[in-house]
Structure 1
């Protein structure tokens, strides 16, 4: 991938980051900053089709980091965001739960072109997060890439390697250009990448224990990813630890925006297979290039450290609401026309358990995302829940799924709904915790 980035912008972003952080620490205004992150929305290109020019795209890049962005749980991070794209934008955080989460539609306007904004975020939980400006897709001229953010645990996790694998979907025209989501994909063909590569290769030693952080970076398609001939043990979903369990048939099924942390003990070279609901295709490979000698054999992995979410939810005393996803007469709006002056989907008092009956009236699968709080997926009889937390859920056509969460973070929070159709618009509403 080649990136068109102008040196003065990079210097300006980094200089602003250093100056503002110094002012906070020396001046003593508010809690101390323990981490710094400089983000830039910028044009780039991606080599997606052999023999054709690189495809123009937009991306959110961490110009303060040479490799993955890794913060720590309980960091207070100062974020400097530079918008070098021709439309107003702001990063939206997925998996960043808590009262200090940054959300540009709840009263803060997105950054205008050629401007820099500074904000602070608190990393309340360890896990796999996603920073993304594609909520503003109505104004995007090119398809865009999100940015994975890793919040590491405070205690050691027994793995040899920790790798991020972002799966992305592109709709390519015959000339090699790409159609952004929300537009008619006529005369395009789908193409999938891992970490921006059409043929991704992960090199490892035999007997290494890998922590693979899978992210469905596509915006419309539910995808299944499988590593052939290996057991894939799910350790976390949507940034929250789960009771470890083997993936069914070794495949992880991820809704757009969903994340799954899995442990894999590398045994042999194998293919990564991707299934988009129509066909399976190889999208990369694990290549074994040696052997790791161990004095102690590998044991069953222990659960990841807790993020201190409640062990139990009071379903009997819960507030209950019906939410029809995307229904035209129920207050849903495109992000460009969203206003918190609109009626909320629901309101809850701080500390209450909330149960939502999510109804999908559309003829296609619809993806729901809850900002501000992770939730439990309830059993069909509403008498218990699955042993994991989520913030994103795909609901089949005509179906209703029930979820529950503890309303612990006061404020106004977004909910999102989008049909798994490339041309379908992304819709938003808000809910209040008071």
Structure 2
């Protein structure tokens, strides 16, 4: 199986991130009534091998959650599992009432929880039920959350690509992250399937929403025989730009919305993934025998509608905080022992800019995820920032990256770190905006 010369090393994958970057139907929305949604987490199976029994996982099913910007869905979470769960709404800014472990407690087996989820921003997000999943009896599946723009977006198709990774033992069972992966083999799925094929037509414009649902791996993605225009990162619109070399990198939990115009010439377009060890096809765009959808490609895409994040950040009067992690750090706690009574990493006044120096003292690449707010990645000289917003970033061993955000939303918010090793624990701290 060819990797098409797609061999970025781990440093290149991480650098690319900075440079390029159940089963529950949604109810109809009306002006008078908020959408209602029942989320039931239960045992499920995936076909991860051509032969042999299916692999047992814990899941909400296969259908992404879909809403519109400004929806305020009323959600009921039902736990049909033998262990407590809590939902981690990755990328959903400013909803302090759903912040896991700080406001929302874990839901016990056979219990339920009810809450409202105001969706002020359009974009691609993720409902992650695995915050308490390290070392569990089975791995969790994540659930895409798609919040549509209220303005029209000129595309022919809008497709979600949830990429997930599994570590299979010889008997076909899968282990959860946080456990030793020795004796297991990696298997990757897109929307729960092995190497799916998506039928497309020439000159069709696709919006592909890539989600890195792997718990510990930074990945690089490349679509063969197509120009890839990056439109949004971590749910927030960016000025459209071409992916360097046609490839983009995503940290665990990160998302990228890209546009491609399917070439009119015959031939298929494999979607390749590199996990830092090897490149492999994970899906394929299969060209239809029908004539191209139109005679000419659509005009170059314009930026997606803004979500209203600030155009400028006041770095001069910012609150500046050093935030080391990795190595011998006693302040970072695993979710199982995390308590909201622990002191915050910092407190910020509402409306102030915060600059965090993220110091990775671990011996390998680590991933940092900020709850509640999106941030800008600062230039080295503190004289500007990259032209996109993120909520997650991967940082090389021994390196420091500085990020800045406007502390807009009052509340208590988590921060997460994890090393890019399957057995590494996810660790938490929190901060306050007052």
The verdict on a shared fold, with TM-score over 0.5 as the criterion, is yes
Q: CA deviation at 1:297?
A: 4.1
1:279 aligns with 2:278: yes
The runs of 5 or more residues in structure 1 that have no matched partner are: 1-9, 26-30
Kept in 1: contact 2:261–2:297 (CA 8 A): no
Matched, 1:110 2:110: no
Match of 1:72 in 2: 68
User: What SS class does the counterpart of residue 304 from structure 2 fall into?
Assistant: coil
Q: Distance in 2 between matches of 1:139 and 1:228?
A: 37
Q: For residues 314 and 292 of structure 1, what CA distance do their matches in structure 2 show?
A: 49
Whole-angstrom distance in 2 between the partners of 1:320 and 1:32: 44
Find the counterpart in structure 2 of residue 53 from structure 1: 53
Q: What is the Cα deviation at residue 189 of structure 1?
A: 1.1
> Following TM superposition, by how much is the alpha carbon of 1:93 offset from its aligned partner in structure 2, in angstroms?
0.3
Normalised to the residue count of structure 2, the TM-score between the two structures is: 0.90
Q: Show the counterpart of 1:304.
A: 304
Shift in Å, 1:252 = 1.5
Change in 2 beyond 3 A, CA 1:144/1:101: same
Residues 239 and 387, structure 2, Cα contact 8 Å, conserved in 1 = yes
Find the aligned partners of 2:248 and 2:33 in 1 and give their Cα distance: 36
> How does the TM-score come out when normalised to structure 1?
0.90
> Which of 422-431 and 326-335 deviates more?
326-335
Q: Which runs of 5+ in 2 are unaligned?
A: 1-21
Measure, in 1, the Cα distance between the counterparts of 2:324 and 2:33: 41
Aligned residue number for residue 270 of structure 1: 269
Q: Aligned equivalents of 1:73 and 1:380: distance in 2?
A: 35
TM-superposed CA distance for 1:204, in Å, is 1.0
Q: Partners in 1 of 2:119 and 2:205 — Cα distance? A: 26
Following TM superposition, where does structure 1 have runs of at least 4 consecutive aligned residues deviating by more than 3 angstroms? 326-330
Moved more, 96-105 or 281-290: 96-105
- Contact 2:162–2:190 (CA<8 Å) still a contact in 1? yes
Bigger relative contact order (CA 8 A; separation at least 6): 2
Distance 1:137 1:355 in 2: 31
CA contact (8 A) 2:227 2:246 kept: yes
1:73-120 deviation line (CA, Å, top 9, x unaligned): 011110111100001112210111014551231133211111221110
Partner of 1:412: 412
Alignment partner, residue 317 of structure 2: 317
- Alpha-carbon distance in structure 2 between the residues aligned to 1:141 and 1:229: 41
Superposed CA deviations along residues 293-343 of structure 1, whole A, max 9, x for unmatched, are: 326641110000000000000011100000012453341001011112111
Q: Name the one with the larger strand percent.
A: 1
Q: Is the 8 A contact 1:125 1:151 kept in 2?
A: yes
Indicate how the Cα distance of structure 1 residues 203 and 374 shifts in structure 2: closer, same or farther if over 3 A, else same.
same
